[in-house]
Amino acid sequence: MSPSEADPAVPRHVLREIERGFLGESRAAAAVREQIADFLARHGTEQPPPPILLRGEVAVGKSLLAQVIHRAGPRPYGPFVDAHLTAIPVSLLEDTLFGHVRGAFPGAGAGNTGLFQAANGGTIFLDEIGMLSEEVQAKILKVIEERSVRRLGSGLDEPVDVWIIAATSEDLRAMADHHRRYREAFNLHEPDLIENLYQQLGQLDLRIPPLRQRPDDILLFAEHFLARACAEYDLPPKSFAADARSAMLAYPWPGNVREVRHQMERMAILFEENDVITAAMLSLRNWK
């Protein structure tokens, strides 16, 4: 079933946004689009909708998919805040996410709102949430469960209306199962933080397969990014020779979609005088 055949409760413009925003001709890509359409059919009128968890290797397109879901969801005109957590220094993480009040710590002058409050009325994308400390995870659970944040140095909870889309290259489900088995083995009855976090985030647990498991999408992405690069650099259109197509299909693309994009940009710039890209130009190792 394609998204266009999904639940009629999902408006057509939403289905078009999903189809246009998340490329792929493979069954795996179609399954991702179907799950999003089904989720929005069931929860698209909730404010905010339940959290979503995107799982997959680095550079499979989790950030792009989060933006697609935001645009297709019930609050496309609200802010979309993209929080790449691994790019934020650990010492600044809580302040960045939750903000602080005046005098919260030495050097804290005027108060500051965090990214959660910046996303109020819209969506926040939390990338690599599995790498956060337990203290920060607990505060995110509070945002989900109580719909409020407490800025550093404050004794007051401030309401916040934000749709949370989280992503991880870790397997939170496996981590939660491991912790649960550990507690059962030692007869521990306290709820486990990682399990609670997974239960809250995993109401839609969406796995994006790596590109090597989606061979039907490889040439589609290559053609898309090569055409885009040629247009951006004002170069004539290019095509692929038969041996280049064979090389790309045989190559495992360990860097996933990001590697394809970078490779096609490189082809456009290095071989601007060539109309056809060959396997020798691609120089993909271990493709034979």
Fold of 3-209: Rossmann fold (3.40.50)
Rounded CA-CA distance 167/152 in Å is 25
As a whole number, the mean pLDDT across the chain is 89
What confidence tier does 11 reach under pLDDT thresholds 50, 70, 90?
confident
Does the pLDDT of residue 203 top 90, yes or no? no
What confidence tier does 106 reach under pLDDT thresholds 50, 70, 90?
confident
The predicted structure's pLDDT at residue 260: 97
Fold of 212-282: Helicase, Ruva Protein; domain 3 (1.10.8)
Place of tokens 């290095």: 270
- Residue 74 exposure: Cα atoms within 13 Å on the Cβ side: 19
Cα 103 to Cα 88, 96, 175: the distances in Å are: 22, 16, 38
What confidence tier does 176 reach under pLDDT thresholds 50, 70, 90?
low
The predicted structure's pLDDT at residue 179: 59
The predicted structure's pLDDT at residue 202: 82
Phi, psi of 81 (to 5 degrees): -105, 120
17, 68 Cβ separation under 8 angstroms: yes
220, 211 Cβ separation under 8 angstroms: no
48 prior amide bond cis, ω within 30: yes
pLDDT (tens digit per residue) in 45-91: 999 999 999 999 999 999 999 999 999 999 999 999 999 999 999 99
Percentage of the chain surpassing pLDDT 90?
71
H or E stretch covering 163: strand 163-168
pLDDT higher at 81 or 3 = 81
H or E stretch covering 140: helix 134-146
Question: Where exactly are the structural domains of the chain?
Answer: 3-209, 212-282
Strands 52-55, 205-207: pairing is parallel
Rounded CA-CA distance 225/227 in Å is 5
pLDDT (tens digit per residue) in 215-272: 999 999 999 999 999 999 999 999 999 999 999 999 999 999 999 999 999 999 999 9
Cα 206 to Cα 53, 98, 209, 268, 288: the distances in Å are: 6, 26, 10, 33, 33
Evaluate if pTM is beyond 0.85. yes
What is the 3-state composition of the chain as percent helix, strand, coil, each rounded to the nearest 5? Answer: 50, 10, 35
Both tokens of 228, joined, read 């885009």
What confidence tier does 175 reach under pLDDT thresholds 50, 70, 90?
low
Both tokens of 272, joined, read 């601007």
pLDDT, average across residues 19-29: 92
The predicted structure's pLDDT at residue 146: 95
pLDDT higher at 120 or 191 = 120
194, 53 Cβ separation under 8 angstroms: no
The predicted structure's pLDDT at residue 5: 52
The predicted structure's pLDDT at residue 85: 92
Place of tokens 């020779």: 241
The predicted structure's pLDDT at residue 103: 84
